[in-house]
């Protein structure tokens, strides 16, 4: 058994090998505070020669016992992964993938089990470091150490691995993965932070990653295994040269088309014609090999065109944004809708407003929580003109939705100011690059169309990169081919005031801070231009909600009065609701939310509840209803459930022989509370008689 330990942030980070799961190619137990993760890396020794990519899968799982819980629901065991587990799996995968050798095609599986959870520290960042270490000490030819940390900006200071409670108050909350020389991956959000604040946070995180990498290298030096030999190339050099020779200048035909579909058809036709020339050779998987070589040729030609000629596939300059158009109110019966189109990428966003009962309840390992804002991203196959089966949301759809949701969150109104549950759905109708950032723009427009009082509009853009040695070119608003053949997809979303979300993915082994700084400047300039276009469509939220949206009021009542409002067996609250469509939610702390389609009924219900919880005040007058008569006076209900005695001597300035001569049950009378005795009994006097007012 071998272990290394280092203080990172406020806790000790410990990596241990050789204690458990020893039949794995590489395994480590990694702990931070009382949070412990087991990470195992394994591979298939047999190579699938029909596959021209690295079949890497990462599975992160949170086991309920880690937090002392038993899974909820009918089946008391862990089942399909939660959204958080999927997002964490993606977070671990992304910094590892570009660091594998390009010709390594063995299937690799990384499994990370959360075994102990202290409910204060995130486990996902441990997964990055743990997976990298497990790969480094295994036979798998992964040789570049990479580490991940979370950095927060709290009260003007950068802190490493902030706790969950600290993260809520951080202006910046980023996960950064870095190697010795460069940044490999960034994921996070911010509350309208400046570009310089983000850059400084990345620097702090990168320096901390260097310290953790030293730990990884120590454990590799002590227990690392001999690495596998790299596979033969997917296409032999001899065959690749032969294919290139047959293609010749025909590759240039693809670059005559600026429109995506036409370019794809030209590429497919070229692949088909070249494949036919090899059909009599009996080469296994020749079509895939031809496609592989031609795609490499397209990439090489595109990259040369960008670096040397400053030209792009669609004729734009490196900083040009595609044509943008915005429409709102496109669907008549929805609460808010918007259509955002940027080139051949199009998002239809729809906002739906709901009540407290519509919140998403999440039984997370860190504790139960509820979400009053959800942004869901759908990517149907017709968006790219393809035919595929439609199943549940993919990992990509969940990831893109989470990114867009994070971008919008900082501008949402507080629950006190806007007591609605909000769901935004972004449906991608066309896609040619950066559909997640189009979703940010369409969601912002749909929220304003729905009358949600967001602080300001949000827009997003994706910045690409082509880099050869020291030469590089940044690309604003990348299309699909530039993402596919380029080196970077850097998504940045924000407002006119600053950044709200960002996500960096690379195909190369990292980039330096100065390129990141320049990319953020490009993103700010593009974002400001898009925001101007959006503001010409709608520059502020509508002042009224859709007539089809529920009418909601929220207020608070004393906790000790909750029982009075509900009544025995729910009698009182059922009476208030009556035959209407009202929904009344009361939380344990006394927060009341009333929702319904009729604003007058909502207002009336609020008044009834306030009357129920209202305290009787001495000296205050009330309009009450006579409930019963006795020989010594009348009992009058002045508030719901609150009765007082109107004594016969207080009925009139004249002598009253019989109470029935003055009032009868059901009569409304104006009374004033003149006394509440030691036993809490309310004594009333009639108001309006000459003898009282003289």
What are the tens digits of pLDDT across the range 464-520? 999 999 999 999 999 999 999 999 999 999 999 999 999 999 999 999 999 999 999
Reported as type and span, the H/E element at residue 213 is: helix 195-223
362: which 2 tokens?
A: 């999440």
With a CB cutoff of 8 Å and minimum separation 6, the contacts of 264 are: none
**CA dihedral sign, ordered 32, 34, 35, 37:** positive
Residue of higher predicted confidence among 599 and 32: 32
Q: Is residue 484 part of a domain?
A: no
Q: For strands 459-468 and 668-676, give the pairing.
A: unpaired
Cβ neighbours of residue 539 under 8 Å, at least 6 residues apart?
457
Residues 339 and 403 in one domain: yes
The answer, yes or no, to whether residue 369 has pLDDT greater than 90, is: no
Residue 548 has pLDDT above 80, yes or no: yes
Task: Give the CATH number, domain containing residue 85.
Answer: 3.30.230.70
Residue 693 has a pLDDT of: 38
Tell me the pLDDT tens digit for each residue of 83-132. Answer: 999 999 999 999 999 999 999 999 999 999 999 999 899 999 999 999 99
Mean pLDDT, residues 171-195 taken together: 98
The dihedrals phi and psi of 231, each to the nearest 5 degrees, come to: -60, 160
3-class secondary-structure state, position 49: coil
Q: Mean pLDDT throughout 185-193?
A: 98
483 labelled binding-site residue: yes
Lowest mean pLDDT among 11-25, 269-283, 414-428: 269-283
Q: Over the chain, what is the mean pLDDT?
A: 93
Q: What is the pLDDT of residue 416?
A: 87
Same domain for 446 and 341 = yes
pLDDT tens-digit profile of 323-363?
999 999 999 999 999 999 999 999 999 999 998 889 999 88
Tokens in use for 561? 């009065």
Of 613, 636, 664, the one marking the end of a domain is 613
Q: Is residue 184 part of a domain?
A: no
Percent of the chain with pLDDT over 90: 75
Within a domain: residue 196?
Answer: no
- Looking at the fold, whether 297 and 349 belong to one and the same domain comes out as no
Q: Which of 487, 183, 461, 431 is nearest to 306 (CA)?
A: 487
In a domain, 187, yes or no: no
User: Sheet harboring 2-8: ordered strands across?
Assistant: 2-8, 11-17, 26-32, 35-43, 108-116, 56-62
**Model pLDDT, residue 302:** 95
Per-residue pLDDT, 691? 41
In a domain, 337, yes or no: yes
d(CA 106, CA 367): 39
> d(Cα 487, Cα 466) in Å, to the nearest integer?
6
In the chain, % of residues over pLDDT 70? 99
Residue 689's pLDDT is: 52
Kindly report the CATH number assigned to the domain that includes residue 596.
3.30.1370.10
**Would residue 636 count as lying in a domain?**
yes
- Chosen domain end from 190, 223, 256: 223
Q: Are residues 137 and 25 in the same domain?
A: yes
Of the listed ranges 153-167, 306-320, 437-451, 604-618, the least confidently predicted one is 604-618
| Model pLDDT, residue 612 | 86
| Domain shared by 446 and 423, yes or no | yes
Give domain status of residue 166, yes or no. Answer: no
Q: Which long-range contacts (CB under 8 A, 24 or more apart) does 150-157 make?
A: 150/122, 150/125, 150/174, 150/175, 150/176, 150/205, 151/176, 151/201, 151/202, 151/204, 151/205, 151/208, 152/201, 153/190, 153/193, 153/197, 153/201
pLDDT at site 357: 86
Q: Tell me, what's the pLDDT at 661?
A: 82
How do residues 228-262 score in pLDDT, each as one tens digit? Answer: 998 788 999 999 999 999 999 999 989 889 888 99
Please indicate if the annotation marks 489 as binding a ligand. Answer: yes
Rounded-to-integer distance, Cα 644 and Cα 646, Å: 7
Q: Considering its fold, how many domains does the chain have in total? A: 5
> How much is the pLDDT for 368?
83
- Nearest CA-CA partner of 201 in 164, 180, 171, 165: 171
pLDDT for 599 = 87
DSSP string, 465-522: EEEETTEEEEEES--HHHHHHSSEEEEEEE-SS-EEEEEEEESSS-B-HHHHHHHHHH
Residue 375 pairs in a beta bridge with 424
Per-residue pLDDT of 120-163, as tens digits, reads 999 999 999 999 999 999 999 999 999 999 999 999 999 999 99
Per-residue pLDDT for 540 more than 90? Answer: yes
The model's confidence at residue 72, banded by pLDDT at 50, 70 and 90, is confident
For residues 448 and 342, state if they share a domain: yes
Helix (H, G, I), strand (E, B) or coil at 274: helix
**Same domain? 391 vs 457:** yes
Q: Do 380 and 529 fall into the same domain?
A: yes
Phi-psi region of 469 (alpha: psi -120 to 50; beta: other; left: phi over 0): left
Picking from 47-56, 388-397, 650-659, which range would have the lowest pLDDT averaged per residue?
650-659
pLDDT range class, residue 405, cuts 50, 70, 90 = very high
Q: Does position 690 have pLDDT exceeding 60, yes or no? A: no
CA distance 111 to 323: 43
Q: What is the pLDDT of residue 692?
A: 41
CA angle 30, 33, 39 (to 5 degrees): 15
**Residue range(s) defining the domain that contains residue 58:** 2-147+207-223
Answer whether residue 451 is part of any domain: yes
């Amino acid at each position: 058994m071998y272990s290394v330990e280092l203080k990172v942030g406020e806790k000790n980070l410990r990596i241990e090998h050789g204690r458990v799961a020893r039949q794995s190619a590489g395994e480590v137990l990694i702990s931070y505070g009382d949070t412990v993760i087991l990470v195992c890396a394994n591979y298939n020794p047999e190579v699938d020669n029909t596959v021209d990519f690295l079949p890497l899968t990462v599975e992160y799982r949170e086991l309920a016992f880690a937090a002392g819980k038993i899974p909820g629901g009918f089946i008391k065991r862990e089942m399909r992964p939660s959204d958080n587990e999927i997002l964490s799996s993606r977070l671990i995968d992304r910094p590892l993938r570009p660091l594998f050798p390009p010709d390594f095609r063995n299937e690799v599986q990384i499994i990370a089990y959360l075994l102990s959870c202290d409910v204060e520290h995130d486990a996902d960042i441990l997964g990055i470091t743990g997976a990298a270490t497990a790969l480094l000490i295994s036979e798998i030819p992964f040789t570049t150490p990479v580490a991940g940390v979370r950095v927060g900006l709290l009260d003007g200071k950068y802190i490493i691995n902030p706790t969950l409670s600290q993260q809520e108050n951080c202006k910046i909350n980023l996960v950064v993965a870095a190697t010795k020389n460069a940044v490999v991956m960034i994921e996070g959000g911010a509350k309208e932070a400046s570009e310089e604040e983000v850059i400084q946070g990345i620097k702090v995180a990168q320096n901390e990653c260097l310290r953790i990498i030293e730990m990884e290298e120590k454990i590799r030096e002590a227990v690392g295994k001999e690495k596998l030999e790299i596979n033969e190339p997917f296409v032999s050099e001899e065959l690749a040269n032969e294919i290139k020779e047959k293609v010749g200048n025909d590759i240039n035909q693809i670059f005559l088309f600026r429109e995506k579909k036409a370019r794809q058809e030209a590429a497919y036709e070229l692949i088909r014609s070249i494949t036919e020339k090899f059909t009599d050779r009996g080469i296994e998987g020749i079509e895939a090999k031809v496609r592989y070589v031609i795609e490499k040729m397209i990439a090489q030609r595109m990259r040369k065109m960008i670096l040397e000629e400053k030209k792009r596939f669609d004729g734009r300059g490196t900083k040009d944004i595609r044509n943008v158009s915005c429409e709102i109110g496109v669907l008549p019966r929805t609460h808010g809708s918007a259509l955002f189109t940027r080139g051949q990428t199009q998002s239809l966003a729809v906002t739906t407003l709901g009540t407290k009962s519509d919140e998403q309840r999440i039984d997370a390992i860190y504790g139960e929580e509820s979400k009053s804002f959800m942004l869901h991203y759908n990517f149907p196959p017709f968006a790219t003109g393809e035919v595929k089966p439609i199943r549940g949301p993919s990992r990509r759809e969940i990831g893109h939705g989470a990114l867009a949701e994070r971008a919008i969150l900082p501008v949402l109104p507080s629950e006190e100011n806007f007591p609605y549950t909000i769901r935004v759905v972004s449906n991608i109708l066309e896609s040619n690059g950066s559909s997640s950032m189009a979703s940010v723009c369409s969601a912002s427009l749909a929220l304003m169309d729905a009358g949600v009082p967001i602080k300001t509009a949000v827009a997003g853009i994706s910045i690409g990169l082509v880099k050869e040695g020291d030469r590089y070119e940044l690309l604003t608003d990348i299309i699909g081919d530039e993402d596919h053949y380029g080196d970077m997809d850097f998504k940045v979303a924000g407002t006119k005031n600053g950044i709200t979300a960002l996500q960096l993915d690379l195909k190369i082994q990292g980039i330096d801070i100065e390129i990141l700084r320049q990319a953020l400047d490009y993103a700010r300039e593009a974002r400001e231009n898009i925001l101007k276009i959006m503001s010409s469509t709608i520059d502020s939220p509508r002042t009224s909600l859709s007539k089809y949206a529920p009418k909601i009021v929220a207020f608070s009542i004393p906790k000790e009065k909750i029982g009075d409002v509900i009544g025995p067996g729910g009698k009182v609250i059922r009476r208030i609701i009556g035959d209407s469509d009202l929904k009344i939610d009361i939380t344990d702390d006394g927060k009341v939310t009333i929702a319904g389609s009729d604003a007058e009924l909502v207002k009336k219900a609020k008044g009834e509840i306030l009357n129920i919880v209202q305290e009787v005040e001495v000296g205050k007058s009330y309009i009450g209803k006579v409930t019963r008569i006795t020989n010594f006076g009348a009992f009058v209900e002045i508030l719901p459930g609150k009765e007082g005695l109107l004594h016969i001597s207080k009925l009139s300035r004249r002598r009253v022989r019989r109470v029935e001569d003055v009032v009868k049950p059901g009569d409304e009378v104006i009374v004033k509370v003149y006394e509440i005795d030691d036993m809490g009994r309310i004594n009333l006097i009639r108001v309006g008689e000459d003898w009282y007012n003289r």
